[in-house]
Amino acid sequence: MGEARQRLDKWLWFARFARTRTSAASLVAEGRVRVNGVRATAPARAVRAGDVLTIAAPHRTAVIRIRAEGTRRGPAPEAASLYEELGGGDAAALVTEAPED
């Protein structure tokens, strides 16, 4: 049986790298996400546990390894359990959009 896979934009949203799924898709479309060293060009690209993502934000770049597929956009501790930081920083600090009022 094959490993579970999930859309990249959906995973980024579940893991709280973007505030909305649309902004997660924009990150990918703008060329700011690499999967295993290859630039992702489509938000629908499938990712799975073990894949290494490089996510470039305006002020910081995070390198993470996916630990698990997301099932929902839950609280921050749940989101943080979906990945491990490889770059030695706080990956959650990547969300740079203004909070919604």
User: CATH no. for residue 18?
Assistant: 3.10.290.10
> Is 21:4 a contact under the CB 8 Å cutoff?
no
Domain count, the chain: 1
On whether residue 68 sits in a domain, the answer given is yes
88: left (phi over 0), alpha (psi -120 to 50) or beta: left
| Domain assignment of residue 40, given as a range | 6-89
The yes-or-no verdict on residue 66 having pLDDT over 90 is yes
Mean pLDDT, residues 30-53 taken together: 95
What pTM, to 2 d.p., does this model score? Answer: 0.82
47 burial type by CB count under 10 A (0-12 exposed, 13-18 middle, 19+ buried): buried
